A and B are shown apart, each in its own frame.
Chain A
Amino acid sequence: GAVVSQHPSRVICKSGTSVKIECRSLDFQATTMFWYRQFPKQSLMLMATSNEGSKATYEQGVEKDKFLINHASLTLSTLTVTSAHPEDSSFYICSASGVENTGELFFGEGSRLTVL
């Protein structure tokens, strides 16, 4: 299957700082990537859909100015959590669909953010 790599896998930061998470498709071109967030013992919640070369589409309740998404190339999407606060602590996971467009998504390894 297609490989999606996410970095960093774990980050701890102070409140008020910004954190950037990268998501790369390693062996295929991903015109669309998805960013999910998962709080402990809860399901994955879609935050936004990232389209290469255009603005991301955010789900209801997700602040676009707080969660900046950039998808500048067909293999890289970034999520920046700006002015992070403890309530932003979560598991952030990116995903991308394969070239066969079967509906299957391939996930990155996830990034665990802890804001102190």
Chain B
Amino acid sequence: RKEVEQDPGPFNVPEGATVAFNCTYSNSASQSFFWYRQDCRKEPKLLMSVYSSGNEDGRFTAQLNRASQYISLLIRDSKLSDSATYLCAANNAGNMLTFGGGTRLMVKP
């Protein structure tokens, strides 16, 4: 079993839709969690950190459920520019990030 797992998608949604991604992690010792966005042939860029209390940044909301060992990302009012691959990551000791396989989102006009 992979340490961090995601549904690869693709998720094809119309503009304006709300879409949610889940990500599960197996290492209960993981300390912090992140969502990264990766555009084709580019490096990942941090989208947001994920806190137990949940956090929101504009149209994006991230949640962490430690009991069930999953994190989620909700995107409201999808834009064409949101089309990308979204990677969840879990941080273990020593700042080492383990990434999920990524979920591809395609927002259509």
Contact = CB atoms under 8 A, between A and B. Distances in A.
Nearest to A106: B46
Interface stretch (B11-19, B60-68, B98-106): B98-106
Contact of A110 (B42, B100, B101): B42
A101 B42 CA distance: 24
Contact of B34 (A101, A104, A112): A104
Contacts of A49: 94, 96
Contacts of B87: 43-44
A26 to B, nearest CB: 15
Among B31, B43, B100, residue most surrounded by chain A Cβ atoms (within 10 Å): B43
Given A97-B95, A101-B95, A103-B95, A44 B44 contact: yes
Contact of A102 (B32, B42, B44, B45): B32
Interface string A81-114: 0000000000101010100011111111110100
A80 interface: no
Nearest to B6: A43
Given A49-B96, A97-B95, A105-B95, A43 B101 contact: yes
The listed residue with most A CB atoms (<10 A of its CB), out of B95, B99, B102, is B95
Q: Could you say which interface size class chain A belongs to?
A: 20 to 34
Given A43-B87, A112-B41, A102 B49 contact: yes
B84 interface: no
B52 to A, nearest CB: 14
B22 interface: no
Interface of B: 31-32, 34, 41-46, 49, 87, 89, 91, 94-102
Interface of A: 1, 6, 32, 34, 36, 42-44, 46, 49, 91, 93, 95, 97, 101-110, 112
17 contacts: A1-B46, A34-B95, A43-B101, A43-B102, A44-B99, A46-B96, A46-B97, A93-B44, A101-B95, A103-B49, A103-B97, A104-B49, A105-B46, A105-B95, A105-B97, A109-B43, A110-B42
